[in-house]
C-alpha cells in the first residue's frame, strides 16, 4: 500500500514536467530567446534614451521656474542656427571625399581577389581587414600621431628629405585627413561585403563569358558588378549613415587641431557640446532628433533613387 503511494508521488511530478516541457516545445521559444538579449539592449540603451531625448527636446529649462513646455521651439532654433548647418556642410564635404574612395577601393580590391590575379590570397585578405579590427579610438590616435605638425612621422620624413611638410590638420586639409582615416579603417569591412557577394556569382556564367571571349575586366564590369548591385547599395547606405553620424575621428583630433575642429564641427559634436559642456540638454535633444531625421531622409532618398533605377533597368 505504501509502495503504491510512493510510486504515485514520484511519477506525478515527472508527468507534470513533461507536460510543461511539451507546451514550451510547442511554443517554439528558442528563436525569441536568442533575440531577447539584443532586444533588451536595444530597448534599454537605444529606444528609451531616444524617447527621453525627444521628451526633453519639447521643453526649455529656465533660470527661474525650471522646465516648461515650448513645443517645437528648440527645433526651430536649431534650424535657424548657423552652427548646426556648418556642421552639416562639413559632414557632406567629408562624405563627398570618403564614400566614393571607400566604395571604389573596396570594390577594386574584391574584384582583384576574385579574379585570381592575387596568389597570396590569405595574406591579401588579412592585410585589408586588419585596420577594421583595430578599435576606432586607437586608429584615430595613431593617425593623429602621424598627422602631428610638430612631432608627426609624416612631418619628420618630409624634413628628412628636405620637403616642406603639409599641415594635414589645417582647415583646408582636416576633412580629407579625417576621410583618409575612415577609408583606411572601413575598407576591410566593405571589402568583406563585396567579396562575399562575388563568391555567390555563378561559375557557369563566368565560364560562358570566357568562352564568348570576355576578358577579366569585361566580365567584372558587365557581369559581376550588376550581380552584386544589392551589396553595393547596402555598403553605400551604411556609408551614408556613418557620414552623418561622424563623431569619433574629429572629436579625438581636437587636441591637435583646436582652432579647426570646433564645438560644432559636425552635428554630433555640436549636440555633444551642447549637452555635456553647456548643459543645454533640451536644445541638444532637438539637435539629436534633427540628425536622426536627416539620416533617415538621406537613406530613404538614396534607396528610392536606387530602386527607381533598378526598375528602369529591368
Q: For position 10, what pLDDT does the model report?
A: 47
Neighbours of 216 (CB within 10 A): 17
**How far, in whole angstroms, is CA 128 from its chain's centroid?**
18
Return the closest-CA partner of residue 266 out of 50, 94, 125. 94
Q: For position 159, what pLDDT does the model report?
A: 87
Q: For position 1, what pLDDT does the model report?
A: 46
Region of poorest pLDDT, from 22-26, 118-122, 135-139, 145-149: 22-26
Neighbours of 93 (CB within 10 A): 16
On the question of pLDDT at 139 being above 80, the answer is yes
Which has the higher per-residue pLDDT, 74 or 2? 74
Q: How confident is the model at residue 9 (pLDDT cuts 50, 70, 90)?
A: very low
Q: How confident is the model at residue 313 (pLDDT cuts 50, 70, 90)?
A: low
Looking at the chain, the whole-number percentage of residues with pLDDT higher than 70 is 89
Q: For position 294, what pLDDT does the model report?
A: 92
Q: For CATH 1.10.3720.10, list the domain ranges present in the chain.
A: 73-313
* The CATH homologous superfamily of the domain defined by 73-313: MetI-like (1.10.3720.10)
Q: For position 8, what pLDDT does the model report?
A: 46
On the question of pLDDT at 57 being above 80, the answer is yes
Per residue in 156-165, pLDDT (tens digit) is 888 888 888 8
Per residue in 223-241, pLDDT (tens digit) is 889 999 999 999 999 999 9
Which has the higher per-residue pLDDT, 62 or 208? 208
CB under 8 Å to 254, separation ≥6 — which residues? 261
Q: For position 261, what pLDDT does the model report?
A: 94
Which whole-number Å values give the CA distances from 104 to 225, 232, 240, 307, in the listed order? 12, 10, 15, 21
Per residue in 195-213, pLDDT (tens digit) is 999 998 888 888 888 887 7
On the question of pLDDT at 253 being above 60, the answer is yes
Amino acid at each position: 500500500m505504501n509502495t503504491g503511494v510512493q510510486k504515485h508521488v514520484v511519477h506525478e511530478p515527472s508527468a507534470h514536467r513533461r507536460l510543461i516541457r511539451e507546451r514550451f516545445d510547442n511554443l517554439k521559444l528558442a528563436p525569441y530567446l536568442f533575440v531577447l538579449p539584443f532586444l533588451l539592449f536595444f530597448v534599454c540603451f537605444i529606444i528609451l534614451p531616444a524617447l527621453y531625448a525627444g521628451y526633453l527636446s519639447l521643453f526649455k529649462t529656465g533660470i527661474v521656474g525650471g522646465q516648461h513646455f515650448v513645443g517645437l521651439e528648440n527645433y526651430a532654433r536649431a534650424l535657424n542656427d548657423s552652427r548646426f548647418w556648418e556642421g552639416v556642410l562639413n559632414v557632406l564635404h567629408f562624405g563627398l571625399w570618403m564614400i566614393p574612395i571607400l566604395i571604389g577601393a573596396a570594390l577594386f580590391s574584391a574584384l582583384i581577389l576574385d579574379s585570381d590575379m592575387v596568389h597570396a590570397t590569405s595574406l591579401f585578405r588579412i592585410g585589408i581587414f586588419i585596420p577594421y579590427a583595430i578599435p576606432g579610438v586607437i586608429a584615430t590616435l595613431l593617425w593623429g600621431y602621424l598627422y602631428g605638425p610638430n612631432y608627426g612621422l609624416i612631418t619628420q620624413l618630409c624634413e628628412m628629405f628636405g620637403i616642406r611638410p603639409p599641415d594635414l590638420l589645417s582647415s583646408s586639409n582636416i576633412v580629407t585627413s579625417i576621410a583618409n582615416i575612415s577609408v583606411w579603417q572601413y575598407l576591410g569591412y566593405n571589402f568583406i561585403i563585396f567579396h562575399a557577394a562575388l563568391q555567390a556569382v555563378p561559375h557557369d556564367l563566368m565560364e560562358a563569358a570566357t568562352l564568348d571571349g570576355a576578358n577579366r575586366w569585361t566580365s567584372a564590369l558587365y557581369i559581376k558588378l550588376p550581380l552584386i548591385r544589392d551589396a553595393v547599395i547596402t555598403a553605400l547606405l551604411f556609408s551614408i549613415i556613418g557620414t552623418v553620424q561622424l563623431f569619433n575621428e574629429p572629436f579625438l583630433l581636437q587636441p591637435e587641431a583646436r582652432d579647426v575642429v570646433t564645438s560644432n564641427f559636425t552635428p554630433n559634436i555640436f549636440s555633444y557640446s551642447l549637452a555635456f559642456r553647456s548643459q543645454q540638454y533640451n536644445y541638444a535633444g532637438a539637435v539629436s532628433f534633427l540628425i536622426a531625421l536627416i539620416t533617415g531622409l538621406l537613406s530613404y532618398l538614396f534607396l528610392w533613387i536606387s530602386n527607381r533605377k533598378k526598375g528602369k533597368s529591368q
